[in-house]
Amino acid sequence: MSYLTYYKESIDNPKDFWRTQAKQLAWHKEPQNILSKDKHDYSQWLEDGELNLSYLCIDKHINDGFGDQNAFIYDSPVTNTKQHITFNQLHEEVSKLAGGLQSLGLKKGDTTIIYMPMIPQAAYAMLACARIGVIHSVVFGGFAPHELAIRIDDCKPKAIITASNGVEIKRIIPYKPFVDEAIDKSTHKPSNVIVFDRQLGVEIPKKDYDVDFTSLIENSSSIEAVPVASTHPSYILYTSGTTGTPKGIIRDTGGYATALKFSIKYVYGVNEGETFWAASDVGWVVGHSYIVYGPLLNRNTSIIFEGKPIKTPDASTFWRVISEHKVKSMFTAPTAIRAIKKEDPNGEMLKKYDLSSLKYQFLAGERCDVATLTWTQEKLKVPVIDHWWQTESGWPMIANMVGVSLQDVKPGSSGLPVCGYNIKIVNEDGEEVQAGTEGYVVIKLPLPPGALSNLWGNPERFKSGYLDRFPGYYFSGDGGYADEDGYIFITGRVDDVINVAGHRLSTAEMEEVVSSHKEVSECAVFGVHCELKGQKPLGLIVLRTDDIPDKERIQKEIIQDVRREIGAVASFRDVHFVKRLPKTRSGKTLRKLLRNIADEHQYNVPSTIDDISIIDEIKSIYQAQKIGIHK
Ligand code: COA
Ligand code: AMP
């Protein structure tokens, strides 16, 4: 079938389309009610169905005779470990861990937080929760205890599942001590912390609430998967918004499973039994959808990679993994490719490997510049597919659906709308704009199965943040334009969310931390261009008094504050002192103006600004950052 026919079918007859896709799953109870409304008058999919994600990801394949196939390959250059985990072995670990969780009193509808590095036990924990209907919330390891504490207080986990340590290149990262610190800071106190001891030779202080992960599995018996309603939340995943408080995206179960099974086949082009690799982290949506649930639902072998594109040990790691594990389709962020390209500009390292298994290279998580796309195409000699989606959607919204039919690749564009996503570009008044005109990227409601069902404990923010701005549409927060052929070009966020090395971060959150420094009068944090990471945050700071002799000390303290409160992942390293910030008459910082200057978009200087030198000063700071004068 042609892409266009398939796509039109999904938009014109969504109920039939998704009923057919839902039939690809082994439901405990097949859904009849395909599309309905929830108590918030928001759409829900496959509402009366019952299923279990853990069953579909594991037991189903064993029942079908594939127990000896590898479910995961754990490849960890940072610990020199490679481990193949079959569906049978995965069943043993997950079903016993689920039994262990049950023995600790966890039951359907309870919440847990998973704070773990890229080790198989992270996936076991997710699948064990899903097995008994416990709603997990995985928190990325690069976030600091303070961020973890915010999430503990928001989703009130009965237990936290963690590991003793992570390994970042050669550094040992203290995971369990961070959890202890977070629990000290949070108001809500989980009953237990289940700790996987990685035996890395680091002493971890013990607490009364600790439970040993390995003993819990050893001493528990396997339990069967518990069917849950299709609308039951499978997980909460916190993501950055435009305020200092992260948003807990709620994902359902049945719609999600349907969308993942569909997308792994038709977007990523992998068939059952083949190997898929998303080089991301379980702490991000990519990890949920395409390291754990998506590939396993489709009986693919998925790679759990604990390393970096460079330095673990060098820029050939990705090519080694593809070649060694015969990866058919791979997903990474453009930043990773830029890092490899910087170390190995002529691609000499990839010549050492047989990459014939690789059929498609997918890129997402941030804007993909044309140079990166072209380099990857030239070196890998396979279609390189930029595609666009968000934590909220849970799966791709714009792509080249190679599993249906490969379309032309247009560098700079994320491709064409994916089945189920009726994407429009609108102006400030919500009117559709012509091809070539930039506007807001919105999606006509209802969103397809798998997209967010609400925000945890905050339906008002869900409505005001996504639905109210353009009635009848979901507002993505991104800007972009479509060309005459319907290809969409994403130009970047239109709000204060930034994307650093494919990691989504909130500048508002950083501003909260910066402005709490006692010498700071006011501040603004912005994303500026970064050659490697796409964007990086930069703080413009007005001090309480200008005659402070050791500004360098303040600079260091502010940078340290952000690292301590938000985490290393913020990559906040650039602080500049300015005399004042450009303001409106009512005293509000002109954020849009600052953003436009940073992004080199057109802007007008409002008449409220009488001293234009402030704009020139900020422009020269941004410019210096761009050409790398300041590190
Ligand atoms: N746990 C603890 N700390 C972490 C972490 C984790 N899981 N992930 C990152 N960090 C830390 C890093 O150690 C680093 O700390 P440092 O400032 O002390 O060096 C900081 O957070 C920033 O990390 P990162 O953004 O990874 O930068 P880097 O300079 O270490 O590496 C790249 C640069 C390009 C190699 C790396 O950014 C990369 O691999 N990018 C691609 C990321 C990606 O795939 N994103 C897509 C997600 S879908
Ligand atoms: P996250 O929720 O962390 O996946 O981040 C989602 C945001 O990343 C989107 O809203 C975009 O701003 C950006 N993004 C993701 N993929 C792309 C892409 N292919 N092109 C441009 N921006 C992207």
User: Whose CA is closest to 592, among 513, 507, 522, 516?
Assistant: 507
d(CA 527, CA 505): 10
Reply yes or no on whether the pLDDT at 630 is more than 70: no
**Candidate from 168, 317, 395, 503 with most ligand 1 atoms within 8 A of CB, to mutate:** 168
Give pLDDT tens digits for 499-528.
999 999 999 999 999 999 999 999 999 898
Q: How far, CA to CA in Å, does 402 sit from each of 265, 269, 359, 391?
A: 9, 6, 10, 22
User: Whose CA is closest to 259, among 298, 303, 301, 302?
Assistant: 298
* Average pLDDT of the residues in 575-602: 83
Our answer on whether the CB atom of 335 is closer than 6 Å to any ligand 1 atom is yes
* Average pLDDT of the residues in 203-223: 96
Of 164-173, 347-356, 621-630, the least confident: 621-630
Our answer on whether the CB atom of 568 is closer than 6 Å to any ligand 1 atom is yes
Reply yes or no on whether the pLDDT at 128 is more than 60: yes
Of 426-440, 445-459, 546-560, the least confident: 546-560
Give pLDDT tens digits for 145-202.
999 999 999 999 999 999 999 999 999 999 999 999 999 999 999 999 999 999 998 8
Residue carrying the six token digits 């069902």: 453
* Average pLDDT of the residues in 246-265: 98
Within 13 Å, how many C-alpha atoms sit on residue 615's CB side?
20
Reply yes or no on whether the pLDDT at 244 is more than 70: yes
Q: What's the CA-to-centroid distance between 364 and ligand 2, angstroms?
A: 7
d(CA 442, CA 429): 12
Note whether 48 and 36 are within 8 A (CB): no
Reply yes or no on whether the pLDDT at 600 is more than 80: no
d(CA 503, CA 515): 23
Give pLDDT tens digits for 447-505.
999 999 999 999 999 999 999 999 999 999 999 999 999 999 999 999 889 999 999 99
Residue 434's pLDDT band (cuts 50, 70, 90): very high
Residue 587's pLDDT band (cuts 50, 70, 90): confident
Phi, psi of 303 (to 5 degrees): -95, 130
d(CA 596, CA 577): 20
User: Whose CA is closest to 453, among 41, 29, 25, 15?
Assistant: 41
Q: Of residues 586 and 344, which shows the higher confidence score? A: 344
Our answer on whether the CB atom of 101 is closer than 6 Å to any ligand 1 atom is no
Note whether 247 and 452 are within 8 A (CB): no
Reply yes or no on whether the pLDDT at 12 is more than 90: yes
**Candidate from 138, 286, 363, 388 with most ligand 2 atoms within 8 A of CB, to mutate:** 388
Note whether 213 and 119 are within 8 A (CB): no
Residue-level pLDDT at 231: 98
The single-letter code of the amino acid at 308 is: K
Q: Considering every ligand atom, which ligand is closest to the CA of 441?
A: 2
Residue-level pLDDT at 629: 46
Mean pLDDT, the chain, integer: 95
Enter the DSSP assignment of 415: B
Residue-level pLDDT at 609: 74
Give pLDDT tens digits for 38-80.
999 999 999 999 999 999 999 999 999 999 999 999 999 999 9
Enter the DSSP assignment of 408: P
Residue 371's pLDDT band (cuts 50, 70, 90): very high
Our answer on whether the CB atom of 524 is closer than 6 Å to any ligand 2 atom is no
**Candidate from 78, 340, 569 with most ligand 1 atoms within 8 A of CB, to mutate:** 569
* Average pLDDT of the residues in 539-548: 89
Note whether 229 and 38 are within 8 A (CB): no
Strands 275-278 and 70-76: unpaired
